[in-house]
A and B are shown apart, each in its own frame.
Chain A
Amino acid sequence: QVHLVQSGAEVKKPGSSVKISCKASGGTFSNYALCWVRQAPGQGLEWMGGIIPIFATSKYAQKFQDRVTITADESTTTAYMELTSLTFDDTAVYYCARVGIFGVVTGYFQYWGQGTPVTVSS
Chain B
Amino acid sequence: DLQMTQSPSSLSASVGDRVTITCQASLDIGNYLNWYQQKPGKAPKILIYDASNLETGVPSRFSGFGSGKNFTFTISSLQPEDIATYYCQQYDNFPRNTFGQGTKLEI
Closest to A106 in B: B91
User: Which residues of B sit under 8 angstroms from A108, Cβ to Cβ?
Assistant: 34, 46, 49-50, 89, 91
Give the interface SS of chain B, mostly helix, strand, loop or mixed.
strand
Q: Which of A78-95 contact B (CB under 8 A)?
A: 95
**Choice from B49, B97, B102 contacting A44 with Cβ under 8 Å:** B102
Q: In the docked arrangement, what's the CA distance between A35 and B46, Å? A: 15
Please report B residues at the A interface, Cβ cutoff 8 Å.
Answer: 34, 36, 38, 43-46, 49-50, 55, 87, 89, 91-102
The distance in angstroms between the C-alpha atoms of A108 and B91, with both chains bound, is 8
Question: Hey, which chain B residues are within 8 Å of A59, CB to CB?
Answer: 95
In the complex, which residues of chain A have a beta carbon less than 8 angstroms from the beta carbon of B87?
Answer: 44-45
Nearest chain B CB to A103 CB, angstrom units: 12
A46 → B minimal CB distance (Å): 7
Most buried by A among B43, B49, B89, B96: B43
Does B46 lie within 8 Å of A44, measured CB to CB?
A: no
Assess whether A100 is in contact with B43, with CB atoms less than 8 Å apart: no
